[in-house]
Chain A
Amino acid sequence: MNINQLAVGTANYLSKELALDTSKIDTLRFGLEIIFAALIKGITLVTLAHLLGILPEVMFAMACGAVYRLLSGGAHCNGYWRCLTLGVVMYLGAGELGVFLKRYLSTDFLVYSLLAGYFLSLLCVMAWVPGEVPFKKITNISERIKFKILSLIYLSLWLGVSIIVVHYASPSLAIAGLAAVINQTISFSPPGYKTIHQIDRLLAGLFKERRCPANGADC
């Protein structure tokens, strides 16, 4: 069973039990799909990060990448299990990278790396944000400018917090955050779309999923 089918089944059951208006079923399915997706991904990511001993790094990477992604858009997978695989691998990879590289990078070099990542992301935001997403096309110029400005403000906040983290907390956290921000910048750039769609196609052979409409009798 895929997450879409689970949400459709739950929405149909709840609407029947509570005698809800049928026009609300699809909205309920949408909300449930978001909740289920977040819960499964959150539990999987936290459990694996804890088992690998990189929970703080992964949580910091998640905090850095997640808000940036909400504001900037980017490439998506077509199925939830492919999304889960790719997302978990990316955030665990960022955490592992942080733990591995902290022994080799000096504080000065790390600050210069953060600045380089910041300016590179700044240019990419100005060029490509908001990245196209499957169900929300932002064509209105003022909306596009709004998300560009919000992304730029967010990047500046991230840089400030990361520099503080390098000096007063652990450099491994800042490296993991930098990796998450670079990953997200790549995901809304044209080469990133190509790469993520190729990975999505590659994973499609492993996880075969399909969406079904609310009230879908064949699901």
Chain B
Amino acid sequence: MVTVESTGLFRLVFEAADNWGLAQWYDLVNDPSAQTNLTGPATA
């Protein structure tokens, strides 16, 4: 996994397991402990 974070604003995580997709997005403004992945896990 590769994480890109703007402190206090957002965290993005790219995951090799997902073919290097942008698999995690956290809104650190309202979710500072990054509890809610707003773009996953997306299962059918």
Real complex partners, A and B?
Answer: no
